[in-house]
């Protein structure tokens, strides 16, 4: 699975959790916090994304991802 495809899954789950966002607002340079996701929103996105991708990433690894680019990178290591 390419990083583009992983990013698409992250973006789709972000839009589901934060329906106020538009797709063009979500870039790899943003963090979920930048986009208005609070801690529980971020957990919802990460959990749904892992479920979609069929992966389990240790929580401590995920917390080190501080923008969407690094989140996608962490996820791609486990796909």
Asked whether 74 and 68 are in contact (CB, 8 A), the reply is no
44 binding other proteins? (CB under 8 A): yes
Query: Within its chain, how far is the Cα of 46 from the centroid?
Result: 6
79 binding other proteins? (CB under 8 A): no
62 binding other proteins? (CB under 8 A): no
**Minimum gap (Å) between residue 35 Cβ and other proteins:** 11
Q: How far apart are CA 56 and CA 33, in angstroms?
A: 22
Asked whether 7 and 28 are in contact (CB, 8 A), the reply is yes
Name which of 28 and 43 has its Cβ closer to other proteins.
43
Q: How far apart are CA 50 and CA 48, in angstroms?
A: 6
Q: Which stretch binds other proteins (CB under 8 A): 2-10, 12-20, 23-31, 65-73?
A: 12-20
Q: Which stretch binds other proteins (CB under 8 A): 2-10, 15-23, 26-34, 58-66?
A: 15-23
């Amino acid at each position: 699975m390419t990083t583009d495809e992983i990013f698409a899954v992250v973006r789709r789950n972000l839009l589901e959790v934060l329906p106020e966002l538009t797709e063009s607002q979500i870039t790899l340079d943003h963090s979920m916090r930048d986009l208005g996701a609070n801690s529980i929103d971020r957990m919802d996105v990460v959990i749904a994304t892992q479920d979609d991708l069929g992966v389990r990433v240790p929580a401590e690894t995920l917390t080190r991802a501080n923008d969407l680019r690094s989140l996608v990178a962490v996820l791609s290591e486990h796909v």
